[in-house]
Amino acid sequence: MVSNGYHIVAGENGEDVNEETVNIYEAKSYRVVLPQLYSVCVASSFNLLTGMILSFSGIVIPELEKPDAQIHASIDETSWIASATSLSMAFGSIFSGFMVDHFGRLETIRLSALPSILGWLLIALAQNTAMVICGRIFTGLGAITALNASGPFVCEITWPQFRGSFLASICLASSLGVELIYLGGYFFSWKTIAWLCFCYAILLFIVTYFVQESPSWLIKRGRLEIARKSLHWYTKYQNLDDGEKNTAEMHLKHLTKQFHRINKKIQSKNPTNLNVLKRFTKPGTYKPVLTLIGLCAIQQFSGIYVITAYAVTFFENIGSNISPIICSNIVTGLPVLASLLNIFTMNSIKRNNLLMFSCLGMALSLFVSGIFTKWIQEGVSQEKWVPVVSLFVYMTMAILGLEPIPWAMMGEVTPSDNKGVIVGFVTVTVEGIMFAAIHSFRTLQQLLGSSGVQFLYGTIALCGVIFVRLFVPETFKKSLTEIEHNFHEKV
């Protein structure tokens, strides 16, 4: 049995390996993990930009709706500004999955900066709403391309004992990006923020040249010399008695054997001419795909990204007497601390327990907020602080489970064969659901009112508890091979 990436923890048939072999892959000091940590930081930096992209509509829409705005937008146009990114992310998932498999994990992350640069430039130079929407479309393409590549990249270059924390750091970066946008909205104009994001995207493109590609992917593509160079970089602080060179060679040898072993198992289960579409008929593919889509549908329609995209507008409608921009900063800012907590919880608590706790907490918070919103609007209550506190608890609960874990699981539960294409398929479906959730918000608000929308989202979050209990497999501290084997076995 093998672990993810190039870190082997058990023998070919599942037997224990000898102590000498185990020591090759154990971190005797945190210095050994520094190359992995740096690479994860680079990948996470792209997710910081993703958080900025998703939340930018929250500060620009209220400004465009003002009567004296230089660029004025109608309600229909603001709906497109908010949802344009999710629509382009859906279309971007179609080709980004192929890019991850054929161009490489790191190369795809690097290329994702290009549409982001163009998109932020269009927004910064915008003279009308059409330019803003076009800019949002390009930034959405960049966001989804980075998102599809960063999960597999981080999973493949990190050790199993650190993988949960490193995956949590990606979600932390996204939450921090959301808060930076709302904090910036308090001090700067939306065009100034667009220029800052433009410069940041250029910087990200440059720093990717100081990271090495996933050795796992390089070996799968037969590029052994480049894989050897990559492994030398990732193991440069893992100094064993035989020296650094032998350490990298040992990793290369084991990783190559792992690839051939997994490939042999795949070929024994599937004909060699089995194309990607036919693979979706196999339990090892369609079961994790359906599980992820179901979990992400609950994630989207429980309102996490709707509130992120419409935070200021949302708080204007719940009746709070606190400034909407301040409320937005509170609700999107303090959960960043919850994301920091995730670095520890995802490495010490089972994923399913976190998910069920998160869904239950979100549901209860939305029910309380919805009740008080209704009472405030009817004049029954003057406790206008309650919805704000409830929504803060809601976002904190979301960050602890339902927001980060489905994205992290995409790199864990999808089969290694054609992972990029399968992740791309799941993501295009999920982004389509996100588009529907964000674009329908204004319509739902008109039909159900602010309190009714919160009751709807709360009910869906509550359904998440049942879904996780019945259908979501546990991935906590399991190797990628164990997770994949579990789906193949349970037919």
pLDDT in tens, 52-97: 998 898 889 888 988 888 888 888 888 899 888 988 988 888 788 7
| Averaged pLDDT for residues 214-230 | 81
Residue count of the chain, please give it.
Answer: 491
What's CA 76's distance to the chain center, in Å?
28
Digit-coded pLDDT (tens) for 302-318:
998 888 888 777 777 77
Domains of the chain by range and CATH?
Answer: 30-211+273-489 (1.20.1250.20)
- Predicted confidence at residue 486, as pLDDT, reads 65
| Averaged pLDDT for residues 137-145 | 92
- DSSP per residue over 31-84, as a string? GGGHHHHHHHHHHHHHHHHHHHHHHHHHHHHHHHTSTT-SS---HHHHHHHHHH
- Predicted confidence at residue 476, as pLDDT, reads 74
CA dist 363 and 383 (Å) reads 20
| Averaged pLDDT for residues 439-446 | 88
Lowest mean pLDDT of 60-64, 241-245, 303-307, 465-469, name the range.
Answer: 241-245
Burial of residue 218 (CB within 10 Å: 0-12, 13-18, 19+) is buried
| Averaged pLDDT for residues 425-446 | 87
pLDDT higher than 70, residue 489: no
- Predicted confidence at residue 270, as pLDDT, reads 53
- Predicted confidence at residue 12, as pLDDT, reads 35
Tokens of 348: 């010490």
Lowest mean pLDDT of 25-34, 290-299, 361-370, name the range.
Answer: 25-34
pLDDT higher than 90, residue 199: yes
- Predicted confidence at residue 363, as pLDDT, reads 96
Q: What is the mean pLDDT of the chain?
A: 80
- Predicted confidence at residue 127, as pLDDT, reads 92
Q: Decide if 42 contacts 110 (C-beta within 8 A).
A: no
Cα end-to-end span (Å), the chain: 20
| Averaged pLDDT for residues 430-449 | 88
What's CA 58's distance to the chain center, in Å?
19
- Predicted confidence at residue 284, as pLDDT, reads 72
pLDDT higher than 70, residue 200: yes
- Predicted confidence at residue 136, as pLDDT, reads 94
- Predicted confidence at residue 62, as pLDDT, reads 87
- Predicted confidence at residue 276, as pLDDT, reads 61
The rounded radius of gyration (Å) of the Cα atoms in the chain is: 23
> Within a 10 A sphere around the Cβ of 129, how many other Cβ atoms?
18
Q: What is the 3-state secondary structure (H, E, C) of 173-225?
A: HHHHHHHHHHHHHHHCCHHHHHHHHHHHHHHHHHHHHHCCCCHHHHHHCCCHH
pLDDT higher than 60, residue 241: no
**Model confidence at 8, in pLDDT bands (50, 70, 90)?**
very low
pLDDT higher than 70, residue 216: yes
Name which of 360, 354, 365, 454 is nearest 404 in CA terms. Answer: 354
Name which of 19, 117, 127 is nearest 73 in CA terms. Answer: 127
Higher pLDDT, 18 or 245: 245
Lowest mean pLDDT of 43-57, 153-167, 205-219, 442-456, name the range.
Answer: 153-167
What predicted TM-score, i.e. pTM, was given to this entire model?
0.72
